[in-house]
Amino acid sequence: MIKTPEQIALEKQRERLTKRFHKACADYGLIADGDHILIGLSGGKDSLLLTELLGRRAQIYVPRFKVTALHVRVKERDYHTDLSYLQSFCDEAKVPLLVRDVEISSPRNESLPLQGGVGGGLKKDTSPCFLCSWFRRKELFNVAQEIGCNKIAFGHHRDDIAQTLLMNLIFQGAFATMPPMLQMDKMPLQLIRPLCLIDEEDIISYAAMRGYRKQTKLCPFEHVSSREKVKTLLDQIKALNPEALDSIYGALTNIKTDYLPNCKL
């Protein structure tokens, strides 16, 4: 059967992404025999790609590991993903899907960490993005331990890592970002980011080719957060230098203090 130009382009892009994914897993030791990995599946393009790549990799004999996807819905956040689509997507990737609902205003949640700090209750001006992220991540940790996972996988790509670095430099005065792998101090879990060597523009291109569905209702704070503003700043930097991501990622690996174990979330 003769392949169409669209099919050829899709296969080339899939191969490109898969190579970067495998390189990240090999370079940073992200996957090992016996792992049970929980995927944070938001329903966006990044987490969909992560689910597809990990699901396909789990079908290969070595290393042998299991994958489960978790979609967390926050009651107070008015944006939605089509659960039937997520289920069919996970079925195709051969990845079991779990769905959990959490509620920020629950009486159980009176004692929350300060934004950027620890304990003592929540500041009145705590951003909605911080709250949403905190509760989603907390549920991921809970479910991971409940079903026996030793790793949690996030869909952060190279642009996310660069954006986080810029945010920490601008707002925290720290040269720190998200590492490809992080060992949690207070629980037997590792956080891994298998898309850390993939550029966002390549994910956008592949998502369009594959026909990934967008969320049915987007987050109302999506375009007003500090991260969105820093994303715009990074786009301007890339306009000045198309190789900016290579330079930023290189800076992370070339600083005198070892980047991988010492970077902060």
The residue segments making up the domain with residue 121 are 5-262
The DSSP bridge pattern shows strands 66-74 and 36-40 to be parallel
- Burial of 73: CB neighbours in 10 Å, binned 0-12, 13-18, 19+: middle
pTM of the model: 0.84
In this predicted model, which residue has the larger pLDDT, 122 or 243? 243
Strand partners, 36: 66
pLDDT bracket for residue 121 (50, 70, 90): very low
Residue 89 has pLDDT above 70, yes or no: yes
Residue 110 has pLDDT above 50, yes or no: no
Minimum mean pLDDT range among 79-93, 115-129, 215-229: 115-129
> Encoding tokens for residue 208?
């369009």
Nearest to 196 by CA among 210, 177, 215: 177
Helix (H, G, I), strand (E, B) or coil at 181: strand
Domain count, the chain: 1
> Encoding tokens for residue 41?
């599946």
Quick one: pLDDT at residue 251? 87
Residue 118 has pLDDT above 50, yes or no: no
Quick one: pLDDT at residue 264? 43
Distance CA 227, CA 250 (A): 22
Helix (H, G, I), strand (E, B) or coil at 34: coil
pLDDT bracket for residue 128 (50, 70, 90): low
Q: Percent helix, strand, coil in the chain (nearest 5)?
A: 50, 10, 40
Mean pLDDT of 159-163: 94
Mean pLDDT of 246-260: 70
Mean pLDDT of 124-152: 84
Nearest to 20 by CA among 40, 50, 61: 50
Query: Residue 90's domain is classified under what CATH number?
Result: 3.40.50.620
Mean pLDDT of 192-213: 97
In this predicted model, which residue has the larger pLDDT, 108 or 222? 222
